[in-house]
């Protein structure tokens, strides 16, 4: 199980009351929500391997060099990612708590958590479950290897388990072509424009007739029967973006990952560090739930 940590702690931060604070007044709603969700997911899916994936860099230099507007809509005045004031101080504490539990935390310099998850999904044997609220991860579903996305957009209680059939039904495209679909449609949350004038409908039509960007461009140049004159014009006018779109939109799958023990942590001889953090930050039942989920 690969946890898209930022996706989880944002969801926890906005889903849990900000009245949840440590004895010294430090906000802990994101920490408690993250632990609660992780405990429920572990209990539900019973993974044997678990990794909390984090951003090495939320705007990798190589993506920004290719496309300077990449995620520029989220940059604050200091050039960092805009983050709620009450969330930022919780992240180091959460990392300490996960570390105390012995849960593997992996982030790699100049790569996003998406790239880390994609590389683990490539390197590790299946089955693999990727937990996220980000539809970008649909590009990783693989029925043969049993890679599915635990998609949290509707919340954990009503989450979808996304495979290629789910993608095919939701977007009316072949289930293994989500990345191609996203290249044409774009993603405003990441500052990615897609191809000007092509929305979901046009992107779906393209995906139903072509397997990759090169095929689409060749189809436009040869006036393929499936493409209207208007669509051909938009594709040809978008060629400069389409040259870089595969690198921008597709997750890197060749990230150099650490070779560490990914096994679900076994009960340590001494839980005092965990109980000390629980008391210091007022984490109460959230820590107890995690202990129970791990079978300790």
Burial of 51 (0-12, 13-18, 19+ CB in 10 A): buried
Angle at 119 between CA 113 and CA 122, to 5 degrees: 145
Task: Supply the pLDDT for residue 55.
Answer: 96
Half-sphere exposure of 135 (CA within 13 A, CB side): 19
Which residue ranges form the domains of the chain, and what is each CATH number? Answer: 2-163+252-293 (3.40.50.1010), 178-249 (1.10.150)
Task: Supply the pLDDT for residue 246.
Answer: 96
Burial 124-144 (b: 16+ CB within 10 A, else e): beeebbbbbbbbbbbbbbbee
- For 233-242, the pLDDT digits (tens) are 999 999 999 9
pTM (global) more than 0.85? yes
Task: Supply the pLDDT for residue 123.
Answer: 96
Which two tokens mark 187?
């993603």
Task: Supply the pLDDT for residue 81.
Answer: 83
Beta pairing, strands 160-162 & 128-132: unpaired
- For 175-222, the pLDDT digits (tens) are 999 999 999 999 888 889 999 999 999 999 999 999 999 999 999 999
Nearest Cα neighbor of 45 from 264, 211, 212, 285 is: 264
- For 66-120, the pLDDT digits (tens) are 999 899 888 877 777 888 889 999 999 999 999 999 999 999 999 999 999 999 9
User: Are 70 and 233 spatial neighbours (Cβ–Cβ below 8 Å)?
Assistant: no
Residue 127: pLDDT band with limits 50, 70, 90: very high
SS3 content of the chain, % helix, strand, coil (to 5): 50, 10, 40
């Amino acid at each position: 199980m690969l946890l898209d940590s930022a996706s989880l702690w944002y969801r926890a931060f906005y889903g849990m009351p900000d009245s949840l604070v440590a004895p010294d007044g430090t906000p802990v709603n994101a920490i408690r929500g993250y632990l609660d969700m992780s405990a429920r997911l572990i209990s539900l899916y019973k993974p044997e391997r678990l990794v909390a994936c984090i951003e090495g860099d939320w705007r990798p230099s190589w993506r920004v060099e290719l496309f300077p507007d990449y995620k520029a809509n989220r940059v604050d005045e200091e050039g960092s990612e805009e983050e709620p004031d009450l969330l930022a101080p919780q992240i180091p504490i959460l990392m300490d708590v996960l570390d105390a539990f012995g849960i593997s935390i992996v982030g790699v310099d100049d790569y996003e958590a998406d790239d880390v998850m994609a590389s683990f999904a490539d390197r590790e044997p299946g089955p693999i479950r990727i937990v996220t609220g980000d539809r970008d991860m649909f590009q990783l579903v693989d029925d043969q290897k049993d890679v599915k996305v635990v998609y949290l957009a509707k919340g954990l209680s009503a989450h979808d388990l996304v495979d290629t059939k789910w993608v095919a039904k939701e977007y009316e495209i072949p289930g293994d072509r989500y990345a191609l679909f996203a290249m044409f449609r774009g993603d405003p949350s990441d500052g990615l424009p897609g191809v000007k004038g092509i929305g979901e409908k046009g992107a779906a039509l393209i995906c139903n007739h072509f397997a990759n960007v090169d095929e689409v461009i060749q189809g436009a140049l040869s006036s393929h029967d499936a493409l209207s004159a208007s669509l051909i014009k938009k594709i040809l006018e978008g060629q400069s973006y389409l040259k870089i779109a595969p690198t921008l939109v597709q997750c890197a799958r060749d990230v150099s990952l650490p070779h560490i023990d990914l096994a679900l942590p076994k009960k340590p001889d001494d839980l005092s560090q965990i109980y000390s953090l629980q008391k210091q930050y007022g984490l109460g039942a959230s820590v107890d739930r995690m202990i129970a989920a791990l079978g300790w």
